[in-house]
């Protein structure tokens, strides 16, 4: 199992960014997927998840209306579109595979998003 995030970088407050996660080594379309973030020197925070066919999506309150999670099962890829970015969105963003309701069993290496002017 391998998860590889990309798309992070420096963006100004109010700006947008799209993160991608390329999955391999498992049947991507069989699993819920998550984004989890970690602000510098801080703990983990679940951001969003999406079910196998993309018909169900959930978000932490702080990103509702600003972030959109999506997936392309044909490309084995997970995405998050982040709009109206704020300083508090600065974090390493991890893509993770969900193991039912039991947790996240595989994680990518993360991609850093920095929101600053």
Q: Is 110 in the site for other proteins (CB under 8 A)?
A: yes
Listed ranges 7-15, 19-27, 43-51, 82-90: which one lies at the site for other proteins (CB under 8 A): 43-51
* CA-based end-to-end distance of the chain: 37
Out of 94, 111, 113, 115, the residue judged to bind other proteins by CB under 8 A: 94
Q: Is 58 in the site for other proteins (CB under 8 A)?
A: yes
> Which of 25, 31, 23 has its CA nearest to residue 4?
23
Strand, helix or coil for residue 28: helix
Burial label for 95, CB within 10 Å (0-12, 13-18, 19+), is buried
Q: Is 6 in the site for other proteins (CB under 8 A)?
A: no
114 neighbors 92 (Cβ within 8 angstroms) = no
Q: Is 21 in the site for other proteins (CB under 8 A)?
A: no
Task: Please give the residue ranges that form the binding site for other proteins (CB under 8 A).
Answer: 34, 36, 43-46, 49, 58, 60-61, 94, 99, 101-110
């Amino acid at each position: 199992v391998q998860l590889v995030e990309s798309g992070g970088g420096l963006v100004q407050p109010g700006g947008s960014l799209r993160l991608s996660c390329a999955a391999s080594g498992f049947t991507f379309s069989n699993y819920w997927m998550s984004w989890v973030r970690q602000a510098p020197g801080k703990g983990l925070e679940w951001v969003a998840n999406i079910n196998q066919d993309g018909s169900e999506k959930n978000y932490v309150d702080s990103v509702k209306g600003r972030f959109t999670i999506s997936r392309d099962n044909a490309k084995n890829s997970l995405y998050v579109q982040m709009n109206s970015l704020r300083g508090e969105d600065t974090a390493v963003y991890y893509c993770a595979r969900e193991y039912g309701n039991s947790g996240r069993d595989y994680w990518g290496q993360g991609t850093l998003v920095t929101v600053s002017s």
